[in-house]
Amino acid sequence: MKHRIQSLASLILLLLLVQPALPQESVAVVAPPSEAGEGLDLQVVGELFKEAENLEAFEKALNDPESGVNNLDLNEDDEVDYVRVVEEAADDTRVIILQAALAENEFQDVATIELEKESDEKYNMQVHGNDEIYGADYYVAPAHVHVHTWPIIHWMYRPLYRPYRSTFYYGFYPRWWRPFRPVHVNVYRTRTVHFRTRPTFAATRTTRVRTVTRVNYKPRTSTHVRKRTTVTRKASVTRKNPKTGKTTTVKAGAKRTKNPRTGKTTTKVGVKKTTKTKGGKKTTRAKGAKKTKVKKGGKRRR
């Protein structure tokens, strides 16, 4: 009996050793909330900044048609927007603005690269997506890398340094650049996958550059972009009322409003709404239909 128990224990131990390892817990991915934010991957922007010798070279790499890193078409004219680089500075803090000129006197800040120097070997750095395009508090920051070894850091923090300002604007571009058509987001991800697989940068909701408010910088926003990013993509939601047993499905884009006095919930006109009762009956209000209420007396009113 004792021998059988020992054999069984040995068998269990062997099975535990040879069984495949369980998959690791998935990590939450911070992603832009709008389609506009998918036209320029900020992790790729960080990689280009890391490899550039100066901001002029960085601006060229950012807009290079061959690499296709920039796939932004914010004014929806079926041409990729040229993103110029403008820098502001205060003491040892730098704000590098990536700005798209969408028309004459019509600018949209896409993102900022923010830097602060604590010591000769200690720099804090992050890429901050503009709220209109990437949503609130969208950052891309280095993960366990030595920022002070990057060539562009030595160039920016050299003595007698003057902030960089691009000489290009809407309608006036460098000779090597020509407007080109944007590609589908899946094609864009294929183009930039070799940048995104590197472990240098990670998306986060937490800022790490505390002195950025010292720099006199006010974001510029275009009305074209504001209209485009007003609607975000949301999945359909199904809710069940525990009291009545009714199941309600509201499709993407619907806006539900609850009256605190009456307790009634209203769905905005223009979105299909389906309600299923206990008896299995379904009621669907088509897009654009008006909501109808029934009084106790049986009369209908609109």
| Annotated domain spans of the chain | 35-228, 237-290
Contact criterion met (CB below 8 Å) for 96 and 113? yes
Confidence of residue 86 (pLDDT cuts 50, 70, 90): very high
Confidence of residue 21 (pLDDT cuts 50, 70, 90): very low
Q: Cα–Cα distances in Å, from 96 out to 24, 200, 219, 258?
A: 37, 19, 12, 44
Whether 282 has a pLDDT exceeding 70, the answer reads: no
Contact criterion met (CB below 8 Å) for 296 and 278? no
**Residue 125: partners with Cβ closer than 8 Å, 6 or more residues away:** 113, 114, 115, 141, 142, 147, 208, 209
Note every long-range contact of 262-266, with CB atoms under 8 Å and residues 24 or more positions apart, other chains counting. Answer: 266/291
- As a whole number, the mean pLDDT across the chain is 77
Amino acid 144: pLDDT: 84
Amino acid 25: pLDDT: 32
**Nearest one of 93, 92, 78, 83 to 48, comparing CA atoms:** 83
Whether 248 has a pLDDT exceeding 50, the answer reads: yes
More confident position, 250 or 23 = 250
Confidence of residue 263 (pLDDT cuts 50, 70, 90): low
Least confident range of 19-23, 144-148, 168-172, 185-189:
19-23
**Nearest one of 282, 281, 251, 283 to 268, comparing CA atoms:** 251
What is the pTM (predicted TM-score) of this model? 0.67
Overall average pLDDT of the 155-168 stretch: 94
The dihedrals phi and psi of 211, each to the nearest 5 degrees, come to -95, 10
Whether 147 has a pLDDT exceeding 60, the answer reads: yes
Least confident range of 14-18, 38-42, 166-170:
14-18
Overall average pLDDT of the 227-231 stretch: 54
Whether 54 has a pLDDT exceeding 90, the answer reads: yes
**Residue 157: how many other CB atoms lie within 10 Å:** 15
Whether 121 has a pLDDT exceeding 80, the answer reads: yes
Whether 126 has a pLDDT exceeding 60, the answer reads: yes
Amino acid 9: pLDDT: 53
Contact criterion met (CB below 8 Å) for 226 and 133? no
